[in-house]
């Protein structure tokens, strides 16, 4: 649904063809969620079927252009105004992995958590570095300010997510220690995070410093183009 409405949002600015929409979508989101041209044209076909877009002629190079319809504008306005539905959260591979690892024979859930914590902290550092680059671009006015501001917001959302994941991993490890002590779980008990000496220091809170740390998400770009 985000791709569907994202394309409508871009088409509201004027007619565009498929690969142009892909380029602008990725530019706006910093290529965090890359699209392929086939996915774009499949979505455009569905939008046309639903009366939300219509063919808008061709550009000088012969590309077929698509334009948003009045129905599409109404749908886009409703999307902006409608809260994102959280009643059916997407599947989270990490949550499923830990749920299946609890009590699984031959699985050291402590090692699973430690491995993920290392990857999460690495992603957190990457996102923080990219945020500094995006912020510098916005403040210097070197690039397309609209796209850089949008990319900055996406990065900060990823940072908050990764920070939350790091806290959840620490909580999960501590929870398993307590439950193992009560005999509620089987398998090798997890030790407190501080015992292995590998837990990074707790990052400063976002409220105090702004979002600087958050969940492994899509692979971060090395820099904005």
- The pLDDT of residue 17 is 94
**Residue among 126, 145, 141, 138 nearest 221 (CA):** 126
Measured distance between the N- and C-terminal CA atoms of the chain, rounded to whole angstroms? 26
Cβ(162)–Cβ(214) under 8 Å? yes
Whether the per-residue pLDDT at 39 is higher than 80: the answer is yes
Q: At what angle do helices 109-140 and 145-181 cross, to 10 degrees?
A: 160
**What does the pLDDT look like over 136-161, one tens digit per residue?**
888 886 656 778 888 899 999 999 99
Tell me which long-range contacts 90-95 makes (C-beta under 8 A, separation of at least 24).
Answer: 94/165, 94/215, 94/216
Please give the structure tokens belonging to residue 174. Answer: 């501590």
Give residue 51's region: left, alpha or beta (phi > 0; psi -120 to 50): left
Task: Please report which confidence band the pLDDT of residue 33 belongs to, taking 50, 70 and 90 as the band edges.
Answer: confident
213/126: higher pLDDT: 126
- Residue 30's pLDDT is 77
pLDDT over 70 (residue 18): yes
Task: Reply yes or no on whether the pLDDT at 211 is more than 60.
Answer: no
Q: What is the mean pLDDT of the chain?
A: 82
Contact 173, 193 (CB under 8 A): yes
**Distance (Å, whole) CA 104 – CA 88:** 27
**What percent helix, strand, coil does the chain show, rounded to 5?**
60, 5, 35
Say which residue, 185 or 101, is predicted with more confidence: 101
CA dist., res. 92 & res. 76, Å (int): 28
Question: What's the whole-number mean pLDDT along residues 23-34?
Answer: 84
- pLDDT of 177 > 60? The answer is yes
pLDDT at 206: 43
Round to whole Å and give the CA distance between 177 and 191. 6
The alpha-carbon radius of gyration of the chain (Å, integer) is: 22
Q: Give the pLDDT score at 179.
A: 85
């Amino acid at each position: 649904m985000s791709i569907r409405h994202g394309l409508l949002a871009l088409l509201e600015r004027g007619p565009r063809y498929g690969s142009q929409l892909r380029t602008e979508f990725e530019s706006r989101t910093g290529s965090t969620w890359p699209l392929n041209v086939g996915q774009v044209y499949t979505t455009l076909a569905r939008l046309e079927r639903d009366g939300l877009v219509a063919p808008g002629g061709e550009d000088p190079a012969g590309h077929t252009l698509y334009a948003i319809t009045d129905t599409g504008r109404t749908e886009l306005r409703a999307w902006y105004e409608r809260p994102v539905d959280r009643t059916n959260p997407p599947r989270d591979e990490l949550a499923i992995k830990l749920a299946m690892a609890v009590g699984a024979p031959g699985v050291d859930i402590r090692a699973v958590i430690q491995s993920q914590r290392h990857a999460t902290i690495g992603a957190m550092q990457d996102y923080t570095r990219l945020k500094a680059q995006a912020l510098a671009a916005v403040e210097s006015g070197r690039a397309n300010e609209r796209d850089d501001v949008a990319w900055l917001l996406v990065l900060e959302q990823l940072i908050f997510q990764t920070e939350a994941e790091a806290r959840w991993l620490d909580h999960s490890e501590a929870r398993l220690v307590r439950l193992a002590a009560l005999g509620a779980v089987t398998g090798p008990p997890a030790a407190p995070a501080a015992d292995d000496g590998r837990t990074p220091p707790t990052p400063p809170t976002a409220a105090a410093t702004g979002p600087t740390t958050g969940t492994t998400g899509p692979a971060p770009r090395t820099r904005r183009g």
